Structure 1
Amino acid sequence: MSIRNHAVGAPALAAVLALPMLASAQSNVTVYGIVDASVRRADNADAAGGSRTSLNDGVYVGSRFGLRGSEDLGDGLKAIFTLENGFDPSTGTLQQANASASNGSGAAAGGRLFGREASVGLASEALGTVTLGRQYTLAHPLSGRFQPQPNPNLDAISMFSTHHVARQDNMARYYKQLGPVGVYASYTFNEGNGRGRGVGASYTQGPLDLVAYYQEINNAANTATRGISGAGGSYLVTKELKAFLGYMKRNDRGTSAQENDVWSVGANYNITAPLVLTVNYAQDRQSGVNAGKRKMGYVGLDYLFSKRTDLYAEVDHNRLTGAYPLPSFMGTRDSATSFSVGLRHRF
């Protein structure tokens, strides 16, 4: 959808003639989203170790509705914005609408209309892009580049995002592409959500894509700091096969001595034009507090009806050792093997 400015009356006409740059500028707004619903049969889902069947949000990505826009300001400069909310298609309720404070998010007693992202910024061809608002941490999109399904929405097949915090309130973020190298930086202002800062870099050349990042997150009281560092990448082995490998280190300082070492290896393989196979294995080794391991693997098949609509199925397995904390999706410390089937449409 395009929006053009129109002059009405002599005063408005005079203003437009005095500002020819504003008169020629155009704004473009895009409405987009994903609706993804899945049926899941979860093993070891309650305190008795029983199974549960449920209708949920998407397995690989969360359902969302968004608006994205830009305005060409001339001389290689653009104004940009993104407004995006998440919702559960099984109930229609808002996601990311937490009412309590946590690392990166202030208390939101009234909920959040745009809980996934709400940002505005300026993009310059020469100087890079600066955005302000509620945004993804650097670790989230960069770590997604070394996973076959970037930071899956389902906790049972996701490991990295449980540590690095996906998004934060009150963030300023910078990005600049310099040939094959991308540079990233962010700073989060402490307004009841905790201060944060991060740096990152990427290198993309031919079939190779590499990323590295470091970020710190302080709690709201500034009594603890969570440091996250990660590196990894992907390689397009053939037109059909793409391989992924990544590592992340979490180091807590202050009120906790928790440390985590997480690594992941996986691949996407196009069996036929409409059918894609995903395999992934990941392991999280925790030390300092509640020492132990979580081992996770899953296999998925995705059938693409079109560029916008697909049907997928996945089977996942989780096993805990030592004193690793019990995840919310497991009822007991026994292992769990579960499966999901989902239907996804993009617009």
Structure 2
Amino acid sequence: MSIRHHARATLATTMLLGLPALALAQTNVTVYGIVDASVRRADNAGPDGQSVTSLNDGVYVGSRFGLRGSEDLGGGMKAVFTLENGFDPSSGALGNASSSAGNGNSAAAGGRLFGREASVGLDTPLGLVTLGRQYTLAHPLSGRFQPQPNPNLDAISMFSTHHVARQDNMARYYKQFGPVGVYASYTFNEGNGRGRGVGASYTAGPLDLTAYYQEVNNAGDTVTRGIAGLGGSWLFTKDFKAFLGYMKRNDRGTGPQQENDVVSIGANYNLTPTLVLTANYAQDRQSDVNAGKRKMGYVGLDYLFSKRTDLYAEVDNNRLSGAYPLPRFMGTRDSATSVSVGLRHRF
């Protein structure tokens, strides 16, 4: 082999080997996550109403590890992706498990590698389209009218128990037109059940409003769950923000016709630059089948050591009336008052 031919071969090999590195250099990838562990003393949590003390995942948000990236394609276009894993910090176990398929989710009894989100998309001047396992429209939009958006702890969460937080096989669209945002989604039925939704938001000054409607079908398409929501927030001062929201669930199809009306009111108040007070009251009225009410309230304090680390405590109370179904976090139909303390770090 001549010296010239050897030099050309070496250059070609170097260029080929360098292609992955060049592609990686052009893609902006962010590693992020939250580790949140809480100790909870739960009143009326055992089968006979006993108190239970446990170490758990976060109260307000779930622990997670994620990768998020984008590549500038030129012409105002970007390729984007998100891979986000949920886990229990008390054991390290994978999160987001489901024992059977339905309501837009496949069966995953052992958990999911990227159970919180696994999506890829294209962001263009016409809007953002993403494909994969994603949040339903109701989840982020309803979170905007709650002081703690759809808390991770069932005892202080009401909206997410009805609207289904995520679905597999989803296509989602988003576009911002000045102060107005428009949203649409469709979930393909691949044995997990279908779903579709539309939503809108309006933000101007201290006001933030959202509205949405979505339908979720179980895996056999025998029951359709309709979810409609409307709410918003108002920033009265830089330290005080109030929230008000409403949701209507209406099941139709074979079997019992369940209806729920959920109302929530709450606020966040910065007592000091490093101490935040949260208060929330919500009521779920169920009719037609197992008619009754669940009333829930909680108060929390969050101390910010830094922008990344905080220590929080909350006290919550749940009461049932009528034939409202017994939640899994309650042992008997007596009222339950519980307290949690948690430590959270973001990276």
Q: Write the distance in 2 (CA, Å) between the matches of 1:217 and 1:48.
A: 35
Deviation, structure 1 residue 99 = 3.7
Where does structure 2 lack aligned partners over 5 or more consecutive residues? 1-9
Contact 1:25 1:71 in 2 (8 A): no
Aligned to 2:162, the other structure's residue is in SS state helix
Q: In the alignment, which residue of structure 2 is the partner of 1:4?
A: none
Identity of aligned residues (%): 83
Q: Write the distance in 1 (CA, Å) between the matches of 2:268 and 2:239.
A: 8
Contact 2:98 2:106 in 1 (8 A): no
Aligned to 2:184, the other structure's residue is in SS state strand
Structure 1 segment 51-66 matched on structure 2, within 5 A: 51-66=51-66
Aligned to 2:85, the other structure's residue is in SS state strand
Q: In the alignment, which residue of structure 2 is the partner of 1:3?
A: none
Q: In the alignment, which residue of structure 1 is the partner of 2:121?
A: 121
Summarize the Cα distance change of 1:91–1:11 in structure 2 as closer, same or farther, 3 Å threshold: closer
Deviation, structure 1 residue 24 = 12
Q: Write the distance in 1 (CA, Å) between the matches of 2:200 and 2:140.
A: 12
Q: Write the distance in 1 (CA, Å) between the matches of 2:283 and 2:24.
A: 54
Give the partner amino acid of 1:183: V
Higher mean alpha-carbon deviation, 110-119 vs 41-50, is at 110-119
Q: Write the distance in 2 (CA, Å) between the matches of 1:275 and 1:38.
A: 18
Deviation, structure 1 residue 33 = 0.2
Deviation, structure 1 residue 9 = 3.3
Deviation, structure 1 residue 98 = 2.5
Contact 1:99 1:111 in 2 (8 A): no
Q: Can you list the C-alpha shifts for 1:288-334, whole angstroms capped at 9, x where unaligned?
A: 10000000000000000000000000000000000000000000000
Aligned to 1:29, the other structure's residue is in SS state strand
Q: In the alignment, which residue of structure 1 is the partner of 2:156?
A: 157
Structure 1 segment 251-290 matched on structure 2, within 5 A: 251-255=250-254, 256-290=256-290
Q: In the alignment, which residue of structure 2 is the partner of 1:310?
A: 310
What RMSD in Å do the two structures reach over aligned CA positions? 1.9
Give the partner amino acid of 2:118: A
Contact 1:107 1:192 in 2 (8 A): no
Q: Write the distance in 2 (CA, Å) between the matches of 1:11 and 1:51.
A: 67
Contact 2:246 2:261 in 1 (8 A): yes
Q: In the alignment, which residue of structure 1 is the partner of 2:331?
A: 331
Q: Write the distance in 2 (CA, Å) between the matches of 1:111 and 1:86.
A: 9
Contact 2:94 2:110 in 1 (8 A): no
Q: Can you list the C-alpha shifts for 1:157-186, whole angstroms capped at 9, x where unaligned?
A: 000000000000000000000000000000
Aligned to 2:93, the other structure's residue is in SS state coil
Deviation, structure 1 residue 103 = 1.1
Q: In the alignment, which residue of structure 1 is the partner of 2:11?
A: 9
Task: Give the TM-score normalised by the residue count of structure 2.
Answer: 0.93
Q: Can you list the C-alpha shifts for 1:171-221, whole angstroms capped at 9, x where unaligned?
A: 000000000000000000000111100000000000000000000001111
Q: Write the distance in 2 (CA, Å) between the matches of 1:166 and 1:304.
A: 28
Give the partner amino acid of 1:219: N
Structure 1 segment 130-141 matched on structure 2, within 5 A: 130-141=129-140
Summarize the Cα distance change of 1:291–1:79 in structure 2 as closer, same or farther, 3 Å threshold: same
Q: In the alignment, which residue of structure 2 is the partner of 1:77?
A: 77
Q: Can you list the C-alpha shifts for 1:32-74, whole angstroms capped at 9, x where unaligned?
A: 0000000000000112111010000000000000000000000
Match status 1:237 vs 2:233: no
Q: Write the distance in 1 (CA, Å) between the matches of 2:103 and 2:195.
A: 9
Aligned to 1:141, the other structure's residue is in SS state helix
Instruction: Count how many residue pairs are aligned between Structure 1 and Structure 2.
Output: 335
Give the partner amino acid of 1:52: V
Match status 1:227 vs 2:226: yes
Where does structure 1 lack aligned partners over 5 or more consecutive residues? 1-7, 17-21
Q: Write the distance in 1 (CA, Å) between the matches of 2:287 and 2:43.
A: 27
Contact 2:193 2:220 in 1 (8 A): yes
Q: Write the distance in 2 (CA, Å) between the matches of 1:24 and 1:288.
A: 56
Give 1 or 2 for the bigger CA radius of gyration: 2
Q: In the alignment, which residue of structure 1 is the partner of 2:36?
A: 36
Aligned to 2:237, the other structure's residue is in SS state coil
Deviation, structure 1 residue 231 = 0.3
Contact 1:315 1:337 in 2 (8 A): yes
Deviation, structure 1 residue 110 = 6.0
Summarize the Cα distance change of 1:9–1:99 in structure 2 as closer, same or farther, 3 Å threshold: farther
Q: Write the distance in 2 (CA, Å) between the matches of 1:266 and 1:23.
A: 47
Task: Give the TM-score normalised by the residue count of structure 1.
Answer: 0.93
Aligned to 1:315, the other structure's residue is in SS state strand
Deviation, structure 1 residue 80 = 0.3
Q: In the alignment, which residue of structure 1 is the partner of 2:295?
A: 295
Q: In the alignment, which residue of structure 2 is the partner of 1:167?
A: 166
Q: In the alignment, which residue of structure 1 is the partner of 2:207?
A: 208
Contact 1:25 1:72 in 2 (8 A): no
Contact 1:41 1:338 in 2 (8 A): yes
Deviation, structure 1 residue 133 = 0.2
Give the partner amino acid of 1:295: K
